[in-house]
């Protein structure tokens, strides 16, 4: 009896593929001494799981051989015979997401086997070798692979649990929002790339290095041709464009996209959806039943209430990962640019635009808004003063 036989059929092939990718990425990390193997697959794995659930009618009903997808009979005749329009829409959006992330990953050089995310290099220095290897196995390889599997489960809801009806207004609205979010994320990626290109070119020229190609704004995407200054380069991190609204606009958009994908089936008229989680008084037991059987008497009621909310777990898990990893990322940046980044944190929110507005109002109330903003962006007033001094 295989260990996978204990797994429900609807998760069995994704679980097999997840176990395979976890094993391969972990072994490769040991062979290459490079733990960014999952980072290279991040752009593809959610798409693979989404593709599996969206295209169930294409797969055979029985497993052919290892890692070949199949559609178990337990999925039901409808899931195996007909495509779900909602699942296909989600599949299309995830394909667009994959193209954006693949392009950015390629441009950053992470598809090269010798390149490693700088955060893992920092973590390796902070932990004893034995603890780093435990972290590599349990979190970097296993946990991240499981999370990437979870991102494909919203499509399962649309494909196997909901009727394959035509798209509704909520589908069109959420799909439009998803494309807008991806457009903003693409813009923030390009603004970061343009800034880093300008910074490295400027600092190299300042040090007299003539082999570094000068910065050419015309080679950058139009939405990223911002007015970079020597002050920006010396500050060390990007604060303009979308980065003036949140400290991590790319992370904000990434989380927003997967929340939209997760909510797409749950906000549709077809159950299971969030409206299905409304209070059903018929399921609430009598006082005497509660008194005699507490807490078991409440189990059916809370199961009814929480069941649709379990489908939100993919987005919740991703948000938890981003929050914890962002704290670590910012600690690294803070160690490089302590004064400037502290001012940036004081003025701009981590993810939310409203948090940035709140911070601005608080600084204005304390009479420190101009001072902090001058440290982050510079102000016209400060630029005029510098001109007079010069």
- DSSP letter string over 183-246? HHHHHHHHHHHHHHHHHHHHHHHHTT--SSPPP-GGGS-GGG-----HHHHHH-S--SGGGGTB
Question: Quick check: is 308 in a domain?
Answer: no
* CB 248 within 8 Å of CB 326: yes
Question: Quick check: is 224 in a domain?
Answer: no
The structure tokens listed for 343 are 């001012």
Question: Quick check: is 364 in a domain?
Answer: no
Task: Check residue 212 and give its pLDDT.
Answer: 79
Question: Quick check: is 145 in a domain?
Answer: yes
Alpha-carbon gap, residue 374 to 10, rounded angstroms = 56
The CB-based long-range contact list for 71-76 (8 Å cut-off, 24+ gap) reads: 72/9, 72/10, 72/12, 74/8, 74/9, 74/10, 75/9, 75/10, 75/160, 76/160
CA distances, 74 to each of 80, 128, 150, 157 (Å):
9, 47, 20, 14
Residue labelled with tokens 């593709």: 51
Count Cβ atoms below 10 Å from residue 90 Cβ, excluding itself.
Answer: 29
- For the chain, what's the residue count? 390
The structure tokens listed for 58 are 């294409």
Which of 383, 364, 253 lies closest to 318, judged by CA? 253
378 φψ region: left (φ > 0), alpha (ψ -120 to 50), beta (else): left
- Return the SS3 of 349: strand
Q: How many domains does the chain have?
A: 1
Question: Quick check: is 44 in a domain?
Answer: yes
> Per residue of the chain (390 residues), what is the pLDDT tens digit?
566 667 778 888 999 999 999 999 999 999 999 999 999 999 999 999 999 999 999 998 887 888 889 988 877 777 778 899 999 999 999 999 999 999 999 988 888 878 888 899 899 999 999 999 999 999 999 999 999 999 999 999 999 988 999 999 999 999 999 999 999 999 999 999 999 999 999 998 888 777 778 888 889 999 999 999 999 999 999 999 999 999 999 999 999 999 999 999 999 888 776 665 444 444 444 455 545 555 554 455 555 555 666 788 889 999 999 999 999 999 999 999 998 999 999 999 999 899 999 999 999 999 899 999 998 987 544 444 333 333
Alpha-carbon gap, residue 390 to 345, rounded angstroms = 30
Question: Quick check: is 362 in a domain?
Answer: no
Count Cβ atoms below 10 Å from residue 335 Cβ, excluding itself.
Answer: 10
* CB 233 within 8 Å of CB 203: yes
Question: Quick check: is 122 in a domain?
Answer: yes
State pTM to two decimals.
0.86
Residue 97 is part of which domain span? 1-166
């Amino acid at each position: 009896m295989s260990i996978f036989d204990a797994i429900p059929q609807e998760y069995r092939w994704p679980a097999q593929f997840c176990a395979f990718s976890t094993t391969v990425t972990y072994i490769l990390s040991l062979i290459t001494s490079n733990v960014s193997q999952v980072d290279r697959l991040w752009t593809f794995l959610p798409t693979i799981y989404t593709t599996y659930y969206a295209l169930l009618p294409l797969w055979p009903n029985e497993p052919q051989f290892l890692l070949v997808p199949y559609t178990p009979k337990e999925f039901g005749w409808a899931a195996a015979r007909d495509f779900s329009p909602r699942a296909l829409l989600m599949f299309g959006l995830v394909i667009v997401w994959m193209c954006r992330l693949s392009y950015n990953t390629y441009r950053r050089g992470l598809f090269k086997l010798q390149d490693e995310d700088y955060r893992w290099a920092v973590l390796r220095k902070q932990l004893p070798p034995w603890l780093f290897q435990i972290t590599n196995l349990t979190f970097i390889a296993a946990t991240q692979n499981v999370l990437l599997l979870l991102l494909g489960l919203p499509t399962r809801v649309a494909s196997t649990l909901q009727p394959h009806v035509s798209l509704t207004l909520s589908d069109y609205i959420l799909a439009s929002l998803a494309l807008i979010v991806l457009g903003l994320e693409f813009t923030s990626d390009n603004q970061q790339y343009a800034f880093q290109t300008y910074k490295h070119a400027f600092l190299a020229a300042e040090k007299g290095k003539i082999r570094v190609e000068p910065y050419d704004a015309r080679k950058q995407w139009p939405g990223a041709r911002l007015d970079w200054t020597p002050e920006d380069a010396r500050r060390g991190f990007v604060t303009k464009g979308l980065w003036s609204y949140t400290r991590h606009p790319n992370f904000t958009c990434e989380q927003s996209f997967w929340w939209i994908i997760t909510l797409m089936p749950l906000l549709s008229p077809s159950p299971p959806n969030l409206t299905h989680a409304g209070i059903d008084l018929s399921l609430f037991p009598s006082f005497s039943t509660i008194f005699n059987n507490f807490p078991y008497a409440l189990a059916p009621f809370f199961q009814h209430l929480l069941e649709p909310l379990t489908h939100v777990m993919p987005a919740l898990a991703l948000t938890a990962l981003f929050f914890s990893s962002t704290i670590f990322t910012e600690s690294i940046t803070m160690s490089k640019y302590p004064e400037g980044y502290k001012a940036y944190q004081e003025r701009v929110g981590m993810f939310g635009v409203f948090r940035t507005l709140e911070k601005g109002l608080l600084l204005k109330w304390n009479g420190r808004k101009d001072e902090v903003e001058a440290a982050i962006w510079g102000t016209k007033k400060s630029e005029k003063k510098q001109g007079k001094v010069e």
